[in-house]
Structure 1
Amino acid sequence: MPELPEVETVRRGLAELVSGDVIVDVQVSLPRIIRYPSVADFVDRATGRTIRAIGRRGKYLLFDLAPYTLVSHLRMEGQYRVVPTSEPLALHTHVIFRLASGRDLRYRDVRQFGTMDLLLPDESRPSGLQTLGPEPFDSNLTPTLLRSSLQRRTGPVKAVLLDQTIIAGLGNIYVDEALFLSGIHPLEPANRLGPKRLARLLSSIRDVLGRAIEAGGSSIRTYQDGYGRHGGFQIQLNVYGRTGEACRQCGSEIQRTRVSGRGTHYCPQCQRRGRIPRTRVQPEREVGG
């Protein structure tokens, strides 16, 4: 699933490509992508609207089509591409926005899990958007605030950080990388992290995300930005996807376990903790995220 760096990269590319363009027609070939309103009303609302700006909240893209906001969630493998209208359609292209400039903004989704909502200001946002925690780079997000959010969370810190109500936009790849950088074991109970470790964790989250955005995200599977470009951060990954390889920091073998059903990568030497229940930490073969 695209995480914050990938969605931010898509946002920046689309903002460069289509801001100020006008939607002259909309074609929807897979109705379930459109959650609200009906497909007919979605087409009617979008047609004739100018794409004034493109924002992001967590992993959601927000297209300003005043007075409407198009809320788009890419989910597992959603992709936007901007191409000439004459270009042949790629398989699994489900929504096409025809633009006045003679180009298409096309949404392609092999897994078909992505969603779109086109909303007026007084219409309810998707529940996931309403409950998002602070953005990672929000100046109001301090170690003290993070500690207050975690003080009653007894579960593994890896699982807690994947909860979008704690910090918006974090996903499997970058939580693994931030925990490695901060030297915290993924199974460490979240409420046991003291002020110094939380300060280091928050700094690591921002460092990892910042570098990933600069690199255009990580192309682990099918991710591409609006230009069709792949990300480059995967070559900088320290633990994610490196099961059995040597840690770049200490030389120990990177291990993999599962935390809350998610493949989790860590260095047993650099991310040490107290007694780890054997039933929770079982290195396994690499089978994908």
Structure 2
Amino acid sequence: MSNTSNVSHFSLGAYFDTGALKYLYFMIIMSLYIVIISANVSLIVVICMNRSLHEPMYIFLCSLFMNELYGSTGLFPFLLIQILSDIHTVSASFCFLQIFCVYTYASIQFSNLAVMSYDRYLAICHPLQYNTLMTFNKVAVLIAFTWFYPFLAIFILISLSVSLQLCGNIINKVYCDNYSIVKLACSDTTVNNIYGLVYTFTTIILVLLIFYTYIKILKVCFSGSKQTRQKAVSTCTPHLASLLNFSFGCFFEIVQNRFDMKHVPNMLRIFFSLYWLTCQPLFNPVMYGLNLTQIRIRFQSTV
């Protein structure tokens, strides 16, 4: 029995021979990656260049768009190489690096959405105290939490996985996945499972807190004026849509990891495993770019 330090590489077992179609898939993935980079960079530039957008809500949005770039870069170049490759292997060190990138991306996404919901809660439910409650220092602390907590939590998760003894090196995915590596373990995984459950539980609490803030926002909206309702709907709809879309994708990923999906066509399994990593970076720029008037106006004037 050897530990992961003696496993030089992992084989990705979800890939299958697509023949000449691999060039078509390569072009599709490449096009998606270019669109994601262009859309998110454009919105970051618009927010940074316009002083009127240097407000907490747009600063949190800028953090969200930066995370989309980070997560996409951790996945898309790797996919492009693997699509054209005939041997779908990856070194153990790079595999863990990709797991770190993908998992921190997902955690930052939820943290960022939680901070954004808190910001909207203060703006709509406590408008008179908003400027005193959401100070520059508080924005800086929330941004630091959004990024620091996921990096620390996932670093611990990866450290526990690296120390495992493995009985195989085949991961039945198109990218590296921590749960798949844990399933390869010959050694005791009790600590990994407990930490994974605790981490999942904290993420669920984070999601519940997000929904709680929006319930409070909706109560204010229905009891307020028509103008208040319109403002709340225009700013909160993209946040809720983004949360539901990402949660939907994560749910598919969890189901695929935890249950036997052999009866599901391979192409469909690949689509579901990539949905939460590819759809969100495309979804967010469209939702926020089209629904938030200030961003739309500034983007049109910049272009």
Q: TM-score, normalised by structure 1?
A: 0.32
Higher helix fraction (1 or 2): 2
Higher strand fraction (1 or 2): 1
**Higher RCO (Cα < 8 Å, 6 or more apart):** 2
